[in-house]
Structure 1
């Protein structure tokens, strides 16, 4: 009788373990699977024309002049990664690298990139790993993507080299792209990276998945999220907990503009305050004093809709912040 009870307990525990890891595997595939229609660029251009009609004449003019160009690089892993770029004759060595969000692509960032083109900047808009025209089979939630963006920084420095001026670069990301540029900010970077703009980024992959697990499935973190994170480590080499923009921000004092919609339920707007408070100031190189970063909570905006809902004020805020750190024409 005792032996039978032990067998039953072992069988139940084994079944629960298998069920947990099965659920974790499903969650991992569900969360990190790319959009397999991502290469249909014609559809994305139509979406942009509908959502941001004021950018259509600009994009059409770039295409007509063949100024909107493609470039590809090969990563150390042998993957081909893609970016769009526009060379601006008024740049004076200044470049904006604009980074898209989850299951999105470079084309979707052209409306925000247009802000920098009007400011006279070169623009480089990459497709992250497993997005758009870039190779890859798994979404990296802005964590391993940070290394790809650092690679694009070096590409931009070579591509837009100005013999008379030192490079000056701003990184601007939205959603997962915002998490990416915050992750980049914690790394040792080449000279010339002057400031960052993060728009509705999450504190960590763990926090975002925890929120989505509760919102979509009504489940607590334990045990599924723990199992999925462990499987992610085994399968892709990183965990949800280490993919932390919050920790990256704590490494360095970096000029950063934080933007977040107050009605964002996808990446909860409450996440922006811990991010800002982790890195509320930066060192002014001129006088070695600490200056405060900027934060803007956009009233009533849903996820990644701040520019859509407040285009003029968004552009004004970005121009003012970036000009402070990179300089005016």
Structure 2
């Protein structure tokens, strides 16, 4: 082969690698998020009319400042009777706070006030990059502080997060000021490096050994954090706050083995719920009665100071069929 042909092939390969690296970085940190209307429309296409349930509720929009100067947005829905109990609902990647509406009733039935939040860069909150809990854990801490400043230091606050939200609420446990009464993480990741390795190598058939270092370097330069700085499994190891892990047995996007790993690493009070027929982010849809009962039992035990270690509906976990995943979209799937 002539030298110029070699140069052209090398240049084309370098451009391809650079293009894939850039695309992966955008997909991981800046994928376009759904606005409120789009989330409600998605619910309605699936036959769920949450807009009709949500819109008549008495609610209050609130805004706070993040530790790095962003304006964060949330909505307060108070309990029917005055209550010191609060739960913060944290949505996943590329959605916004209406995606948390399906989880409201199981807490409102227990007398909780609910705070639905837009994660940074989502919904009506400001922000340029998603950082998978690196910055978002401080946002959660700011929301906890908002509740106690606005409604009294005697408030008890719990957290519930799905996917990115699950990773975020687990990362919150690493903060010295973390004082939530319980944390519920639905389909969370245990370690961001290993999650992205899985999504590149297993789901997209790309050489993770080549692309992860390149993506990581771009994240450090552009978004100010690296993959190894986000590892919820480290956060749970030393936390005494009760944690419930929930995962769908057919989740191939974030493997259910990650919740099993988190459960094994967690010290103190913990519960693991595996839902047999659930895919990513759809554990509640797959078995609403089991999900609701298990969550409410766990919350009651946590508030009473006596949660027991348990594993419920532990399905035999077989690898999901590959055709369940449709393409390259790193971290951008429905209900993520």
TM-score norm. by structure 1 comes to: 0.83
Partner of 1:308: 285
Partner of 1:188: 176
Secondary structure of 1:223 counterpart? helix
Contact kept? 1:265, 1:302, Cα under 8 Å: yes
Q: Distance in 1 between matches of 2:59 and 2:277?
A: 33
Partner of 1:199: 186
Partner of 1:157: 148
Partner of 1:120: 111
Does residue 264 in structure 1 map to residue 251 in structure 2? yes
**1:232-257: CA deviation from partner (whole Å, max 9, x where unpaired):** 11111111122111111123233111
How far off is 1:17 after superposition? 6.6
Does residue 46 in structure 1 map to residue 41 in structure 2? yes
Contact kept? 1:34, 1:131, Cα under 8 Å: no
How far off is 1:147 after superposition? 0.9
Does residue 138 in structure 1 map to residue 129 in structure 2? yes
TM-score norm. by structure 2 comes to: 0.82
How far off is 1:260 after superposition? 0.5
Alignment equivalent of 2:65, drawn from 74, 83, 103: 74
Alignment equivalent of 2:229, drawn from 233, 242, 249: 242
Does residue 324 in structure 1 map to residue 301 in structure 2? yes
Does residue 105 in structure 1 map to residue 96 in structure 2? yes
Structure-2 change in CA distance of 1:144 and 1:259 (3 Å): same
Q: Distance in 2 between matches of 1:143 and 1:186?
A: 10
Q: Distance in 2 between matches of 1:295 and 1:196?
A: 12
Contact kept? 1:87, 1:160, Cα under 8 Å: no
Partner of 1:32: 29
How far off is 1:161 after superposition? 2.4
Does residue 209 in structure 1 map to residue 204 in structure 2? no
Q: Distance in 1 between matches of 2:216 and 2:283?
A: 31
Specify every segment of 5 or more residues in structure 2 that has no aligned partner in the other structure, as ranges. Answer: 306-336
The list of structure 1 runs, each at least 4 consecutive aligned residues, that deviate by more than 6 angstroms after superposition, is: 8-18
How far off is 1:217 after superposition? 2.8
How far off is 1:81 after superposition? 1.1
Contact kept? 2:67, 2:139, Cα under 8 Å: no
1:291-306 aligned within 5 A: 292-306=269-283
How far off is 1:14 after superposition? 8.8
**1:33-64: CA deviation from partner (whole Å, max 9, x where unpaired):** 1315x33x2232233345473755532431xx
Q: Distance in 1 between matches of 2:30 and 2:256?
A: 25
**CA RMSD after TM alignment:** 2.7
Q: Distance in 2 between matches of 1:254 and 1:74?
A: 26
Partner of 1:148: 139
The structure with the largest alpha-carbon Rg is 1
**1:55-78: CA deviation from partner (whole Å, max 9, x where unpaired):** 55532431xxxx122111223433
Q: Distance in 2 between matches of 1:326 and 1:91?
A: 17
Contact kept? 1:25, 1:228, Cα under 8 Å: yes
